[in-house]
Amino acid sequence: MLVNFIMAILPIVFLIIALVALKMPGFKACFLAAVITAIIAILYFHMTALEAATATLEGALNALWPICLVIVAALFVYNLTLETKAMDAIKAMLSGVSMDKRVLALIIGWGFGCFMEGMAGFGTAVAIPASILIAMGFEPLWTVIGLLVVNSTPTAFGSVGVPLVTLSGITGFDAVELSGNTALAQAILTFASPYILVMLIGKGEKKKHAMKGMWGFTTLAAVSFVLPEFLAAKFIGPELGDIIGAIVSMICLVLVALKSTKEAPEDFRVEGVKKVELTFKSAVIAWIPFILIFVILLCTSNLIPAIHDPLAAIASKVSVYCGENPGTLTFSWINTPGVLIMIAGLIGGLVQGASLKTIVKVYVETLIANWKTIVTICSVLALAKMMGYSGMISAIAALLVAVTGRFYPLIAPLIGTLGGFVTGSGTSTQVLFGQLQVETAKAIGANPAWLASVNAVGAGIGKMISPQGIAIGCAASSQLEGKESEVLGKVVIFALVFTVIAGIIAYALPALGLI
């Protein structure tokens, strides 16, 4: 078991060393890690070369559609707003709400970011807010780090609750029960996230007093999200947790910011925003791509079955892996966030006066500029599929379970964090480890539904440090190209602290009789 564990974890160890110690660019490190995984899977875990090749192909296809698709789509929309000068108007309007970068970080990075995670997921919660904030003059490195941290807890309820709905299907537990457990398990981490975001924005401005004058506003951001999210998760289910929490939070933050008479401190004042004369019509036109993203994603979500179900039926299912128990890839040709965001961007660009030639030019430039991100994500998903099919992930989990025994709940979130790190997906982590958590809980006499929910918490934490997620964040700014290792080196401490806190909560609440 020990040897199996060592061999299985080698690709992950290499990936960490390559990114953190060797400062290797993400696309190179992830590609080499995938090659190493293939070699170990074939030579030690008895995978055939054909099985390794088809697992790699399955991972790459899964990466291209829908993950890379949604990243390119989100950045395409942002780049198109730059091309049409709509971003100047957006920045002017946001500055009209507040000239304080910390306030804008909470409204856009926290409120709008959680909303995008709830509606679409797949990296949009980092890519779109990062693009807007960086365009407004925010320091790229710490902005992306902050967004990665705050995106960790909304992940469980992302994409209209898909991760927890998937977990429910795998484990057989009621989705509402899992949803309530998850919201409770991560409530402290969720509450702390906006404070961390403000402090990290201060890091970017090289100021240590970022929380000065912001305690009340940041507390409002936390309470106005956490309470509605918890109530929605507990009594409605996983689909609306992020969405309701984010909408309530954004409304509260914008109203308070507009009524505030305090001047933005010089250290955190938005600079270089052009004055733009705006009418209601011009304001709507400036925001039209993002308005359309919201409307289209909402109307095509499973909240409106009459539209969602027919579109969701336009899909192809295929099994690529040639070994035992192959997974099934589902290619939704219309009802997938990347396609819907692309449609919103196309319509929005036309409304803003861009020609089809310009729109195509912006899309091609966006695609070319992000080829390294695409290679990174394809490599990570290929690695994840090979590790899953070959039994490498099971070997890692088996040793951890054997070593910890009845104290296993302390490391249950770590299992989810491992899955989130490798796959970059809350949903995939539930597929990999959801049933493992349940079986382990039964073996040690713990609450299986609770530990299954804890797996969802860990998945979000792991997504914070996933090479895939970091690549998405770095793609939002040319200044961060090739700096994935620097981002990982700084964000990993937050992931470790979050994992430890989640482990204590996972163990303590049942021990205290609260679960």
Per-residue pLDDT tens digits for 7-44: 999 998 898 788 778 878 878 988 999 999 999 999 99
What gap in Å lies between CA 88 and CA 93, rounded to an integer?
Answer: 9
List, as own/partner pairs, every contact residues 231-237 make where C-beta atoms lie below 8 angstroms and the sequence separation is at least 24, other chains included: 233/157, 233/179, 233/180, 233/182, 233/183, 234/176, 234/179, 234/180, 234/183, 234/184, 235/176, 235/180, 236/176, 237/161, 237/175, 237/176, 237/179
Per-residue pLDDT tens digits for 430-467: 877 887 788 788 888 899 999 999 999 999 999 999 88
Q: What is the pTM of this model?
A: 0.78
The amino acid present at 273, given as its one-letter code, is V
**What is the pLDDT tens value at each position of the chain, 515 positions in all?**
999 999 999 998 898 788 778 878 878 988 999 999 999 999 999 999 999 999 999 989 988 887 788 778 877 888 898 899 998 888 778 777 888 999 999 999 999 899 888 876 777 788 888 988 988 889 999 999 999 999 999 999 987 788 888 788 778 788 889 999 999 999 999 999 999 999 999 988 888 889 999 999 999 999 999 999 999 999 888 888 898 899 999 999 999 998 887 888 888 988 766 666 778 899 899 989 888 987 887 788 767 889 989 998 999 999 999 999 898 888 989 988 789 889 999 999 999 999 999 999 999 999 998 888 888 888 888 988 898 899 988 888 888 888 888 899 999 999 999 888 877 778 778 877 887 788 788 888 899 999 999 999 999 999 999 887 898 888 878 788 888 888 998 999 999 999 999 999 999 999 888 88
Per-residue pLDDT tens digits for 406-415: 899 999 999 9
- Token pair of 370 as six digits: 């992000």
What gap in Å lies between CA 303 and CA 244, rounded to an integer?
Answer: 13
pLDDT at 192: 97
- Return the exposure string of 19-42: e unless at least 16 CB atoms fall within 10 Å of the residue's CB, then b: beeeebbbbbbbbbbbbbbbebbb
Q: Token match 């308070």: residue?
A: 256
pLDDT at 362: 95
| Closest to 233 in 3D by CA, of 294, 170, 160, 296 | 160
Contact predicate 417/461, CB 8 Å: yes
Q: Token match 């697992």: residue?
A: 55
What gap in Å lies between CA 196 and CA 200, rounded to an integer?
Answer: 6
pLDDT at 272: 67
What gap in Å lies between CA 183 and CA 186, rounded to an integer?
Answer: 6
pLDDT at 39: 98
Contact predicate 270/136, CB 8 Å: yes
pLDDT at 274: 64
- Token pair of 277 as six digits: 């004369």
Q: How many domains does the chain fold into?
A: 1
- Return the exposure string of 422-460: e unless at least 16 CB atoms fall within 10 Å of the residue's CB, then b: bbbbbbbbbbbbbbbbbebbeeeebbbbbbbbbbbbbbb
pLDDT at 411: 92
Alpha carbons within 13 angstroms on the beta-carbon side of residue 429 total: 32
Structural domain that includes position 420 = 2-269+278-511
